[in-house]
Amino acid sequence: MSDKTTLKYTPEHEWLAIDGDVVTVGITDFAAEKLGDVVFVELPAVDSDLASGTVVGEIESTKSVGELFAPVNGSVTEANDAVVDDPSLVNSDPFGEGWLIKVRFTELPSNLLSWDEYSALVGE
């Protein structure tokens, strides 16, 4: 995936790689570390319509269950079946093979954070 300093971030610890009108979404290494060993991932179906801020999936670890929030309004163009089959990818490669969904969006939210802003939020 991209250099994490060029990505956008949400306060819910998701990263966004923007390519035209499609955004690839994953969770940050900070979130993956806090969750612990991920053992189950549930993602929205392709062609699902998403509303920004709503819960669209679940990430379950040995320690807790985390919710996946839609960072944008749009339609799911792809869900990463590899992380459903091997949830540990979320821990081992959160910015690469551990991506979660791709969404065709109409508008980006105004609350997206830069890498520096996200780093300050999580104290890195």
Residue 15 lies in a domain: yes
Residue 63 lies in a domain: yes
Domain count, the chain: 1
Reported as type and span, the H/E element at residue 14 is strand 14-19
Domain presence at residue 117? no
Tell whether 38 is covered by a domain.
yes
- The DSSP code sequence of 15-61 is EEEEETTEEEEEE-HHHHHHH-SEEEEE-PPTT-EE-TTSEEEEEEE
Q: What is the CATH number of the domain that holds 72?
A: 2.40.50.100
Per-residue confidence of the chain (124 residues) as pLDDT tens digits?
558 999 999 999 999 999 999 999 999 999 999 999 999 999 999 999 999 999 999 999 998 998 999 999 999 999 999 999 999 999 999 999 999 999 999 888 888 999 999 999 998 7
Domain coverage including residue 82: 8-107
pLDDT of residue 106: 87
The answer to whether residue 88 is domain-embedded is: yes
